[in-house]
Amino acid sequence: MTGTPGTGKHRTGRRSAGILLHRRGAAGVEVLLGHMGGPFWARKDDGAWSIPKGEPDGDDEAPETTARREFTEELGLPVPEGELVPLGEVRQSGGKVVHAFALSADLDPDQVVPGTFTMEWPPRSGQLREFPEIDRVAWFPLVQARVKILKGQRDLLDRLDGSVAFTQH
């Protein structure tokens, strides 16, 4: 999801793309976020959730293509039908630029089968372990999502809240 999985480290200049799924809930707008997997994020909650996203397969892969592929890889589910609405880019604290799209649709978090990554754990042990890219997925009202989401992605919530595309639904 962000940087090198499980380490919390980011490489300056890296790019990724993702989808901010949203729906109308009983309390208003809700967004789907994933809690980042791996040992670095295991005991963190506030500020440890992200939109499903990832890096392009090559320099010429379009952000929308990356966002769709990564959504499916990270959640193990196809992207719901609907129009992807550009939310622009945000820069996370480590320098990674995230190109995001909004999509109005519903999804059952219990159906998610997250993708995995492998890393050496514990550090310098020589042992490779597999971890889920995201270890849980949940819907959050915007107020709660602002606390849960990575600080560098909070602007996406503001853009979604004010987007014309969302007010049409």
| pLDDT tens for each residue of 75-123 | 999 999 999 999 999 999 889 999 999 999 999 999 999 999 999 999 9
Q: What is the pLDDT of residue 27?
A: 80
Query: Tens of pLDDT along 45-79?
Result: 999 999 999 999 998 999 999 999 999 999 999 99
**Confidence band of 13 (pLDDT split at 50, 70, 90):** low
Q: Which tokens go with 54?
A: 């990832």
- For 65-98, letters b (16+ CB in 10 Å) and e give ebbbbbbeebbebebeeeebbebeebebeeebbb
- Residue 164 pLDDT grade (very low, low, confident, very high; cuts 50, 70, 90): very low
pLDDT tens-digit readout, 123-137: 999 999 999 999 999
As to burial, measured by CB atoms within 10 angstroms (0-12 exposed, 13-18 middle, 19+ buried), residue 155 is middle
Q: How confident is the model at residue 148 (pLDDT cuts 50, 70, 90)?
A: very high
Residue partners of 25: CB distance under 8 A and separation at least 6: 139, 141
d(CA 53, CA 29): 21
